[in-house]
Amino acid sequence: MQNRITHGVRMDITDDETFGSNEHASVSRGGTLVLDASRPELTELTIGKCGGEVRVELRVTYRQAAGGAVSVSGRALLYEGTSENTTDLDGRASFDGMVASGASRQFNVRVRNTDEGGDFADIRVDVNNLALSENDPCPNIDAKAAALGASFTGNAVSGCEAVRGGHRRRFQNADISYSPSTGAHELHGEIRRKYDSRGGPDSDLALPVTDETATPDGVGRYNHCSGNGSIYWHPRTGPMEVRGGIRARWAQTGWERGAYGYPTSDELNIGQNPWQWYSDFQNGVIFFEGSGVVEPATASLSGAQVLAAFAAAFRRRTADDPRVEIDSVVVIGVSDTAYDFTRSGNRVVTYRVAGEISSGHWYIPDPNFEVTIPVQFTASPPPDARREVALSARQAGVIGIHVDNFAGLGIHDVANALHDKLAAIFNRPIALGSVPAIAGLLSFKVMKDGGLTLYFRPDVAGRFAAGAAQTMLNDIRI
């Protein structure tokens, strides 16, 4: 059952002054809220301030009760001190009551300063409760829309239409779906766009069972759906569907705050005998076969090994110029994954190359240089365990160059020459190798330390390919 509650709060505050006239302030607010099986209780906070010294906080809690009624509990706290932000609590008051379905009720209470002074606040709370029939979908959807507000939903662009498993009304900025078993829930933004792209209520996701909700890390967003699936969104991944046994394993590891991070692909089906499917994540792959999770075969290089390969490449590519001396190559940053609607992009690794260049003149000090090069490792096309995939590294942003000597002489020409030499390394993507279709490549991933991991199907061909890939990586030459 769903309760549509229309409420209004009026707070009249008096700041009692020992000298001079008393000060007064009034606060009014109201709105519509909805209680249902997924959210049977909700607390609203109203804060009023007066005279630079008094603050009143009112918390009103609405709870579903038997027979369509709503329990209403209010707690008022009065603070008085040297500012309106004081923590000096000087007064309390409360009220409780029931509001039957189809009824209205007014609650009145005065909260006083019982410690010192005559400060007080008169509070009035008006509540109207309407219990909606579970079998009447359109009023339930309209109640949800009213609670969200037109500024959130925009105007309706469809009627209350029947969909598989329930009903839905589309709005400019959101869709609201309802069924007796799921309640009324909204989808909006990129999650709505992904939900529609997967087939909406006609897909395996079925109907949403939550509104869009913030993840515990405070960054991402998600909607859970009745089809044992969810859509998770993060600004550095995009909206991705995760379902069934894969979602269950991900949940066991701690969801997005666990070892895998956020999903970076939708669920990908790769075989029907036996059933095989997987989802890509920021830090790994979950592969499901038949009725259980199977660890994929892997080949990998650590961040230190990849760094060594790039250091060797930079030295080799500049060896034909005896003036250039490279002192160090280090990793100065590994980015987060990159947004995409269907398959998130790999992390970008930024390398810093430092050294000096002989000026060729005794009267010009040898300039020191620092070069920063952002590099992205890519797989084309995105791996799906079915296609041949080409692996490459490419420049992923502007090459930064800083050249100096204490005299400041000749550094402009040196910087230009150095830029041209290093940019030539990345004038086209650097081919790292290719993986044949039979190998069953699932993912090519840059790890948090700048290392590389390739994931393969956990079958004979995949394990053989992982061994061959490890040999290739061990001898990688960039």
pLDDT digit string, tens, across residues 409-423: 455 666 676 777 777
Domain of residue 91 covers: 2-132
Pair (75, 152) in one structural domain: no
| pLDDT recorded at residue 361 | 58
Same domain, 153 and 196: yes
Cβ proximity of 337 and 376 under 8 Å: no
Q: Which of 79, 100, 132 is the last residue of a domain?
A: 132
3-class SS of residue 177: strand
Burial letters 301-324, b for 16+ CB under 10 A, else e = bebeebbebbbebbeebbeeeeeb
Cβ atoms within 10 Å, residue 86: 14
Q: Please give the model's pTM, rounded to 2 decimal places.
A: 0.85
Same domain? For 66 and 13 the reply is yes
The owner of tokens 């040196």 is 414
For CA atoms 138, 141, 147, 149, the dihedral sign is negative
What pLDDT, on a 0 to 100 scale, did the predictor assign at position 428? 84
**Amino acid at site 478:** I
Residues 197 and 277 occupy one common structural domain = yes
Distance CA 424, CA 406 (A): 29
- State whether 290 and 161 are in the same domain: yes
What is the per-residue pLDDT for 407? 45
The per-residue pLDDT for 108 is 98
| Together in a domain, 321 and 264 | no
* Same domain, residue pair 288 and 330: no
Same structural domain for residues 390 and 289?
no
Overall number of domains in the chain? 3
Of 132, 163, 183, which one is at a domain's C-terminal end?
A: 132
The answer on 291 and 147 residing in a single domain is: yes
Which residues lie below 8 Å from residue 162, measured CB to CB, with a gap of 6+?
A: none
Name which of 399, 375, 354, 378 is nearest 450 in CA terms: 375
Q: Which two tokens stand for residue 165?
A: 């498993």
What is the phi/psi pair of residue 68, to 5°?
A: 85, 0
- In angstroms, the CA 303 to CA 255 distance is 25
Tokens, residue 369: 């240089």
pLDDT, tens only, 295-311 = 999 999 999 999 999 99
In sequence order, which residues have a C-beta less than 8 Å from that of residue 261 and are 6 or more positions away? 281, 282, 283, 284
Say if residue 175 is in the same domain as residue 52: no
Residues 8 and 127 in one domain: yes
* Shared domain check, 454 and 350: yes
CA-to-CA distance for 218 and 136, rounded, in angstroms? 35
Of 242, 262, 295, the last residue of a domain is: 295
pLDDT of res. 227:
95
C-beta of residue 55 within 8 angstroms of C-beta of residue 86: yes
Q: Residue 77 and residue 243: Cα distance in Å, rounded?
A: 46
Positions of the chain with pLDDT under 50: 406-407, 409
If we measure between CA atoms, which residue out of 370, 445, 442 comes closest to residue 401?
370
